[in-house]
């Protein structure tokens, strides 16, 4: 070691003895840091951390509420859907019943009309038959009379009596026909 170094080393103080000015500066430096952090910056961030915690918890609560609402809406929707299905089934059933009733009614109406037409036809036929029979009876009477007149050579004058005779004859014929039937 050079003598210079030795001189310097003798002047060096014990490193464990703190110089007063450095103690003061150290104290000031730390107090500044502590003051600014404790009074301003850490309360700032604590407030925000609290807000964030609330925001997250609030978000969770909101999500839960939304889920519950969605659940209730879903149930409501399902209930409505079931009701609508039920209603549709009921309507279909009703329509079917109405349709069946309508068909039955139409069928009955058709039946009735058919019977009416048949009845009318029968009546018409009966009337025609009667008219034909009446006309025929007169013609037969006249022809028979004429024939008889020619056969007997004289005209049967008493037309009324003549007609009565013919009628009686024809009635007898009819009775016979009835009896024979």
Partner 1 sequence: MSADPTRVLAFETDCHIFDGCGFPSPGLHSFIFEPLWGDGDSNLYFNKTMLLALLGSIIVIGFFWAAFRRPQVVPGKLQMIAEAGYDFIRRGVVYETMGKREGEKYVPFIVALFFFVWMMNLWSIIPVAQFPVTSIVAYPMVLALIVYIVWVSLTFKRHGFVGALKNFTGYDKSLGAALPVVMLIEAFSNLLVRPFTHAVRLFANMFAGHILLVLFTIASWYLLNGIGIAYAAVSFLMVLVMTLFELFIQALQAYVFVLLACTYIQGALAEQH
Distance CA 110, CA 103 (A): 10
Of 60 and 70, the one with the shorter C-beta distance to partner 1 is 60
Distance CA 47, CA 11 (A): 53
Of 8 and 82, the one with the shorter C-beta distance to partner 1 is 8
Residues 103-132 that bind partner 1 (CB under 8 A): none
Q: How many CB atoms lie within 10 A of CB 174?
A: 12
The stretch among 43-51, 68-76, 93-101, 145-153 that binds partner 1 (CB under 8 A) is 43-51
Residue 51 interacts with partner 1 (CB under 8 A): yes or no: yes
Place of tokens 């005209």: 155
Helix 42-152 × helix 159-180 angle, to 10°: 120
The stretch among 48-56, 61-69, 71-79, 159-167 that binds partner 1 (CB under 8 A) is 48-56
104: which residues sit within 8 A by CB, 6+ positions away? none
The contact set with partner 1 (CB under 8 A) reads 1-2, 4-5, 8-9, 12, 15-23, 25-30, 32-34, 36-38, 41-42, 44-45, 47-49, 51-52, 55
């Amino acid at each position: 070691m050079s003598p210079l170094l030795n001189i310097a080393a003798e002047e060096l103080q014990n490193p464990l003895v703190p110089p007063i000015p450095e103690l003061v500066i150290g104290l000031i430096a730390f107090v500044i840091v502590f003051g600014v952090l404790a009074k301003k910056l850490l309360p700032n961030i604590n407030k925000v951390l609290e807000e964030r915690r609330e925001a997250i918890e609030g978000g969770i609560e909101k999500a839960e509420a939304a889920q519950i609402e969605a659940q209730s809406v879903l149930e409501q929707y399902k209930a409505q859907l079931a009701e609508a299905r039920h209603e549709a089934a009921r309507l279909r059933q009703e329509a079917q019943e109405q349709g069946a009733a309508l068909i039955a009614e139409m069928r009955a109406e058709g039946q009735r009309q058919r019977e009416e037409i048949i009845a009318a036809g029968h009546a018409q036929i009966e009337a025609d038959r009667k008219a034909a029979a009446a006309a025929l009876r007169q013609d037969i009477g006249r022809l028979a009379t004429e024939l008889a007149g020619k056969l007997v050579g004289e005209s049967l004058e008493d037309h009324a009596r003549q007609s009565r005779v013919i009628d009686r004859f024809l009635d007898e014929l009819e009775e016979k026909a009835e009896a024979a039937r």
